[in-house]
Amino acid sequence: MSAKIGEMLTEKLKKQKNDIVPLLSDLNKISLIEGKSFEVCSKAKDELPLICGNPLLVFSNKNTSKINSELKVGVLFSGGPASGGHNVVVGLYDALKEMNPKSQVVGFLNGPDGLLKSEYKILTDDDINNVRNQGGFYLLGTSRTKFEKESDMQKCYETIQKLQLDGLLIIGGDDSNTNAAHLANYLKKSNSKTSVVGIPKTIDGDLAYLPYLQTSFGFYTASMTYSEMVGNICRDLPSSRKIWHFVKLMGRSASWITLEVAFQTQPNVALIGEEIKQKNMTLSQVIDMVCDVIEKRYSSGKKYGVVLIPEGIVEFIPEIKNLIQAINKAIVNIGNENFLKMHISERREKVIIELSQENERLFASLPYSVQNGLLSGLDPHGNVQVSQIASDVLIMDLVTERLHKKGIKLTTQAHFYGYDGRCGYPTWFDATYTYNLGRAASILVAYRKSGYMVTINKLHNDFDSWQVQAIPLAGMMNVEERKGKESLVISKYLVDLNSNAFKEFEKNRDKWAIEDSYLCPGPIQFFGDDSLVKSKSITMMLNG
């Protein structure tokens, strides 16, 4: 049999060591310059007293003091995978070995669980060379475990002490970095000298802190993978000329991915959850908005189009949010265990009698599959499983029904892209960004800095202008209600309707709705012209 593409591309990208340029090339010439202080909320001052005084740190190339300590640094992945994660570990490893060949990287297995249970492996050259520029988190695995109890913190402390770690990198999203902040404070309190450093990961794009943190890694690779698929559909539209495609895109609450894919493909409709919320739109108004575009296109003979739908849209429609809360309450009253034992028809009956007339009417108006999703019981956190709601089918079915009544018969097709974009080979941008985040983290550990997140500033400028920084985790934190109580968290960065990116979208969408302005970005390219290979996120470029 002929050689397989997967084997060839994997090997080729592994060996592309020289294509990923280190920003902090000479580790003998690094100093950390203290920058501005961050405002810290009072709850952070209470809960994170030992790290809340951290100022901004700016990496500079002007020092000549050699960093050559032998270091032992742990690393773990937390939450859903994102492309570039492996390169964080590779960058960390390369830098530590450059400083001192005796240094070690300890990889914790299965995410935070590995730290709790002291399950790990000491990484070797082979381990590292095998995952260079490779997608996924498979070198170590990941999990969503949080350190919520004091006893969890104590277990982490014990593992860290046992292994005599100089540092620990937590590669994760908003929740994982919240964890990192608490752990950093706990370790200081316990007189541990271990530095805890957070690395900004998530495909959702909802972890940002402007102007210091512009984007999390993995967002661009995921967005371009989905854009390839949506772009192919966009080429299909004027070819077969008869189908309306409803495409749900991953991204949890935030609509950033949908916005980026919209810029890359110029679809007829892209729903932005944050806008729907701000305008306090009803489900019916959202459906009207989509129907309006479809009708306009029909009247000019175009019986085809594409609608992008962010995964979290239902949470942004106030009446649906109310309904979800009411169902949540009803299931709590029944008891989730009892509820799960019931047949679906019994579940429906028991829930409906608990609903207000208004909610009952709304529930009854939803497609059957969506009703079933809402009745699939509570998740481990005690919430209705919003992710079980097929929001693509919800919008698609309601639009189809409304237009059918007006005599317009749609041919439709639903799609969901999400899991297929988390583990692709990282783009040049994500591969380079992450390699340098890992590299910079090693320096923070060498300088015993804890409670920081490593970031790179000026990502929208040329590579030569990229500026490595470390921002204090405590400064990123706010108080929000979680599970009914005030908690200290890193706020999700949702689509800002005043941002340049949203305004640019607003300016173009009416044109995209009616004209066929479709673009087909095609598959991510790793070789050839810089204009293609070294591309960056349009939303990031616009938001600067």
Q: Which residues contact 335 (CB under 8 A, 6 or more apart)?
A: none
Residue 218 touching a second copy (CB under 8 A): no
Enumerate the β-bridge partners of residue 454.
470
Residue 408 touching a second copy (CB under 8 A): no
* CA proximity to 123, closest of 138, 108, 141: 108
User: CA-CA distance, 298 to 373, in Å (whole number)?
Assistant: 32
Residue 113 touching a second copy (CB under 8 A): no
Assess contact for 469 and 58: CB atoms under 8 A.
Answer: yes
Considering the complex, state which of residue 105 and residue 224 has its C-beta at the smaller distance from a second copy: 224
Out of 413, 467, 491, 499, the residue judged to bind a second copy by CB under 8 A:
413
Q: List the interface residues with a second copy, window 122-141 (CB under 8 A).
A: 134-138, 141
Residue 42 touching a second copy (CB under 8 A): no
Out of 8, 21, 332, 340, the residue judged to bind a second copy by CB under 8 A:
8
CB of 61 to a second copy, least distance (A): 28
CA distances from 158 to 164, 186, 521 (A): 10, 12, 49
HSE-up of residue 388 (Cα within 13 Å, Cβ side)? 16
Enumerate the β-bridge partners of residue 121.
107
Instruction: Give the phi and the psi of residue 72 in degrees, each rounded to 5.
Output: -125, 115
Residue 342 touching a second copy (CB under 8 A): no
Residue 429 touching a second copy (CB under 8 A): no
By rule CB under 8 A, what count of residues binds a second copy? Answer: 74
Catalytic residue among 127, 204, 397, 430: 204
Options 76-84, 198-206, 291-299, 429-437: segment touching a second copy (CB under 8 A): 76-84
CB of 19 to a second copy, least distance (A): 12
* CA proximity to 392, closest of 233, 512, 154: 233
Residue 265 touching a second copy (CB under 8 A): yes
Residue 81 touching a second copy (CB under 8 A): yes
Considering the complex, state which of residue 162 and residue 409 has its C-beta at the smaller distance from a second copy: 409
Residue 497 touching a second copy (CB under 8 A): no
Residue 120 touching a second copy (CB under 8 A): no
User: CA-CA distance, 69 to 446, in Å (whole number)?
Assistant: 7
Options 22-30, 148-156, 240-248, 394-402: segment touching a second copy (CB under 8 A): 240-248
CB of 288 to a second copy, least distance (A): 25
Considering the complex, state which of residue 59 and residue 256 has its C-beta at the smaller distance from a second copy: 256
CB of 265 to a second copy, least distance (A): 7
Residue 211 touching a second copy (CB under 8 A): no
Please count the other Cβ atoms lying within 10 Å of the Cβ belonging to residue 126. Answer: 8
Tokens of 269: 């409709």
User: CA-CA distance, 172 to 169, in Å (whole number)?
Assistant: 9
CA distances from 325 to 251, 321, 364, 374, 443 (A): 21, 6, 16, 11, 47
CB of 125 to a second copy, least distance (A): 21
Looking at 379-533, which runs of residues are DSSP E strands? 412-417, 452-457, 467-472, 477-482, 485-490
* Longest pairwise C-alpha distance within the chain: 77
Options 39-47, 326-334, 401-409, 534-542: segment touching a second copy (CB under 8 A): 534-542
Rg (CA), the chain: 24
Residue 465 touching a second copy (CB under 8 A): no
* CA proximity to 69, closest of 436, 437, 443, 469: 443
CB-count exposure of residue 153 (10 Å: 0-12, 13-18, 19+): buried
Out of 91, 107, 114, 231, the residue judged to bind a second copy by CB under 8 A:
231
Q: What is the dihedral of CA 203, 205, 210, 212, to 10 degrees?
A: 0
Options 225-233, 252-260, 289-297, 396-404: segment touching a second copy (CB under 8 A): 225-233
Residue 204 appears among annotated catalytic residues: yes
Q: Angle formed by the axes of helices 85-99 and 428-446, to 10°?
A: 40
Options 45-53, 167-175, 223-231, 441-449: segment touching a second copy (CB under 8 A): 223-231
CB of 141 to a second copy, least distance (A): 5
Out of 263, 316, 452, 493, the residue judged to bind a second copy by CB under 8 A:
263
Q: List the interface residues with a second copy, window 500-529 (CB under 8 A).
A: 504, 519-529
Assess contact for 454 and 437: CB atoms under 8 A.
Answer: yes
Residue 369 touching a second copy (CB under 8 A): yes
Residue 420 touching a second copy (CB under 8 A): yes
Considering the complex, state which of residue 263 and residue 433 has its C-beta at the smaller distance from a second copy: 263
Please count the other Cβ atoms lying within 10 Å of the Cβ belonging to residue 50. Answer: 15
Residue 345 touching a second copy (CB under 8 A): no
Residue 224 touching a second copy (CB under 8 A): yes
CB of 41 to a second copy, least distance (A): 33
Out of 114, 421, 438, 472, the residue judged to bind a second copy by CB under 8 A:
421
Considering the complex, state which of residue 188 and residue 536 has its C-beta at the smaller distance from a second copy: 536
CB of 499 to a second copy, least distance (A): 13
Tokens of 323: 């309904």
Q: Which residues are catalytic?
A: 204
